[in-house]
Amino acid sequence: MIRAITLDLDDTLWPIAPVIERAEHAVQAYFAEYCPEVAKRFPITAMRALRERIAAQHPHLSHDFSEQRRLSLRAALDACAAPHAHLEPAFEAFFSARNQVELYPDSEAALRLLAARFPLAALTNGNADLGRIGLAEWFCFSLGAREHGAPKPVASIFLAACDRLNTAPEYTLHVGDDPWLDVEGARAAGLRTCWINRHNSAWPATLPPPDWQVDSLDKLHALLQPSQADYA
């Protein structure tokens, strides 16, 4: 029996690639207007390479995409001897666009139905802001890797969420798109698991299978229809 649900966000409730691309363009537009030398020296591909370099140089920040982004922007400003006063506005350009997501068509209705029956918590390695996105009302809380200090698949982030939900792991269902970070991480922490497989991918042969698999979130709601046990 499931008593609470933790949900991944990126690529579970909305596709993330187009969002990040728009956010990168927003940064580019900021620099084009206020620091043209940075825009010229760091077009989007160069900025991506810089961010990858920064991430590789700071493995201890693997749980903190916001800090990685800030360090990348700072490095770009430094490379052009541009003032650090542009750092926060450039980050805000990114962050604001990063939170303008386009939900999968089934997400909002499914959240509404699930939230009516289960306490929901967001569990994300990314830096989405549910308040800005306008989905906070469906969630008890959002626990991010940045706040927790370590990313999925570490067991401690799943257990911390169960703790805050006040449910034992075996009664908590984690739903996510990533077989390793979401499903295997949650399984290893003792949670029940649901793989959201929107693109008809093959399950990795090396991993134990998820408890459930769905291709959209509304199907999860149907799967979790009350059984007789709920009325016992």
**Interaction site with Mg ion (CB under 5 A):** 8, 10-11, 177
Closest to Mg ion by CB, 8 vs 106, is 8
Closest separation in Å from C-beta 90 to Mg ion:
25
Q: Which residues contact 145 (CB under 8 A, 6 or more apart)?
A: 63, 64, 124, 125, 126, 151, 152, 157
Tell me which residue of 162, 21, 161, 39 sits closest to 94, measured CA to CA.
Answer: 21
**Token pair recorded at residue 165:** 């939900």
Residues 6+ apart with CB under 8 A from 70: 87, 91
Q: How far is the CB of 125 from Mg ion (least distance, A)?
A: 8
* Nearer to Mg ion among residue 11 and residue 24 (C-beta): 11
Give least dist CB 18 to Mg ion, A.
14
- Is the Cβ of residue 38 or residue 106 nearer to Mg ion in the bound state? 106
| Three-class secondary structure of residue 120 per DSSP | strand
Q: Are 153 and 131 in contact (CB under 8 A)?
A: no
Q: Pick the closer one to Mg ion by CB: 124 or 167.
A: 124
| Closest distance of CB 140 from Mg ion, Å | 19
- CB 128 to Mg ion: min, Å: 10
What distances in angstroms separate CA 226 from CA 132, 175, 223, one per listed residue?
32, 18, 9
Contact 157, 150 (CB under 8 A): yes
CA dihedral 16, 86, 56, 186 (to 10 degrees): -40
The answer to whether 186 and 158 are in contact (CB under 8 A) is yes
CB of 154 to Mg ion, least distance (A): 15
Name the residue nearer to Mg ion (CB basis): 37 or 211.
211
Q: Closer to Mg ion at the Cβ: 119 or 185?
A: 185
